């Protein structure tokens, strides 16, 4: 039977039996299963008749009425009635609290929306919702995947640049008898510079193969729409563009052109006090 507390809590399929306070004054909501569909085996769909055991879970949820609450769900583990079903037994689950979930679905969705819509960082959203940052990162990915198109719209001016993310990870390859990279510290980002799509994709690795793989995954019609590609003075990007987008105009960011020109002048003039970021000292050392 649905009571006022159940309606206030708003977790479909769960019934609030009673609310009590723990020793610290935090409300503890005791829940039971109110959805008959939870008795159906998720593998074969048959309705279970025999209870195997009872179990209690404590999923974390959003604040209710501005106060943090604790959920205590006492639910049943059922025997599957189908002899041939490989599941054998299963625990009750509802949409807001899937099987083996430690968080309610709405808490995950709120954490992802805080990053996507409210402009918070992943770390800040994790602190605000009391979860770890990997949980928020996964929630943000799920939130973005639901609203972003499967394929980017055509782009007239494409921007390509790299970003450094952490440290590389290596593993020993027994067959090749050498170390191979399992996690590259460099990622390559693709941006729409002429439209409003912003960041189109980010792929791991700063290699010609990584760039060409993403570009060739787009349709031929999409690639033909690209009129110009803006890059820094990286031969990896230049090689990839010449292979996949030979018709596109290759544009180098003027910042890098000015930077290299400044370094050449410093080297030629024998600058004794190069400005910050100038690599003329390393150029002199290499020439020596």
Mark whether 33 and 51 lie in a shared domain.
Answer: yes
The kind and range of the H/E element at 208 are helix 208-217
pTM of the model: 0.67
Mark whether 39 and 171 lie in a shared domain.
Answer: no
Answer whether residue 151 is part of any domain: no
Residue 245 in 3-state DSSP? coil
Contact predicate 157/227, CB 8 Å: yes
- For the chain, the first-to-last Cα distance in angstroms comes to 85
Confidence at 28, pLDDT banded by 50, 70, 90: very high
What pLDDT was estimated at residue 73?
Answer: 96
% pLDDT > 90, the chain: 61
CA distance 133 to 177: 36
The overall average pLDDT reported for the chain is: 87
Residue where a domain stops, chosen among 114, 146, 178: 146
Confidence at 270, pLDDT banded by 50, 70, 90: low
Mark whether 138 and 221 lie in a shared domain.
Answer: no
| Interval 89-109: pLDDT, tens | 999 999 999 999 999 999 999
Whether 52 has a pLDDT exceeding 70, the answer reads yes
Backbone angles phi, psi at 219, to 5 degrees: -70, 160
Answer whether residue 228 is part of any domain: yes
> Which residues neighbour 39 within 8 Å (Cβ) at sequence distance 6 or greater?
47, 48, 78, 92
Mark whether 228 and 263 lie in a shared domain.
Answer: no
Mark whether 129 and 187 lie in a shared domain.
Answer: no
Mean pLDDT calculated for residue range 152-160:
92
Mark whether 216 and 131 lie in a shared domain.
Answer: no
Mark whether 73 and 193 lie in a shared domain.
Answer: no
Confidence at 226, pLDDT banded by 50, 70, 90: very high
Mark whether 176 and 113 lie in a shared domain.
Answer: no
The tokens describing 122, both together, are 């992943």
Mark whether 76 and 8 lie in a shared domain.
Answer: yes
Answer whether residue 152 is part of any domain: no
Angle (nearest 5°) at CA 269 between 265 and 275: 60
Answer whether residue 209 is part of any domain: yes
Answer whether residue 227 is part of any domain: yes
Contact predicate 108/142, CB 8 Å: yes
Mark whether 101 and 198 lie in a shared domain.
Answer: no
Residue where a domain stops, chosen among 123, 146, 169: 146
Backbone angles phi, psi at 264, to 5 degrees: -65, -45
What pLDDT was estimated at residue 286?
Answer: 41
The domain of 174 spans 157-252
Total domains in the fold of the chain: 3
Backbone angles phi, psi at 91, to 5 degrees: -100, 145
Mark whether 133 and 41 lie in a shared domain.
Answer: yes
- How many Cα atoms occupy the beta-carbon half-sphere of 251 within 13 Å? 16
Mark whether 197 and 230 lie in a shared domain.
Answer: yes
């Amino acid at each position: 039977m649905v009571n006022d507390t159940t309606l206030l809590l708003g977790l479909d399929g769960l019934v609030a039996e009673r609310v009590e306070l723990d020793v610290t004054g935090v409300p503890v909501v005791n829940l039971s299963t109110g959805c008959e569909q939870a008795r159906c085996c998720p593998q074969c769909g048959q309705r279970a008749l025999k209870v195997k055991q009872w179990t209690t879970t404590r999923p974390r949820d959003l604040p209710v009425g501005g106060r943090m609450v604790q959920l205590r769900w006492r639910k049943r583990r059922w025997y599957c009635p189908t002899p041939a079903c490989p599941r054998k037994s299963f625990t009750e689950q509802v949409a807001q609290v899937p099987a083996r979930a430690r968080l309610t679905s709405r808490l995950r969705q709120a954490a992802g929306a805080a990053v996507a819509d409210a402009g918070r960082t992943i770390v800040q959203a994790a602190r605000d919702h009391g979860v770890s940052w990997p949980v928020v990162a996964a929630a943000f990915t799920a939130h973005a995947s639901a609203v972003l198109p499967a394929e980017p719209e055509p782009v007239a001016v494409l921007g390509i640049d790299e970003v450094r993310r952490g440290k590389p990870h290596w593993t020993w390859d027994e067959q090749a008898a050498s170390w191979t990279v399992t996690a590259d510290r460099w990622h390559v980002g693709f941006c729409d510079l002429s439209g409003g799509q912003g960041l189109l994709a980010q792929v791991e690795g700063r290699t010609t193969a990584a760039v060409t793989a993403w570009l060739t995954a787009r349709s031929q019609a999409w690639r033909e729409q690209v009129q110009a590609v803006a890059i820094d003075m990286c031969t990896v990007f230049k090689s990839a563009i010449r292979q996949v987008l030979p018709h596109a105009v290759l544009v180098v960011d003027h910042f890098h052109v000015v930077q290299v020109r400044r370094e050449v002048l410093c080297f030629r003039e024998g600058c004794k006090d190069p400005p910050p970021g100038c690599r003329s000292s390393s150029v002199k050392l290499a020439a020596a």
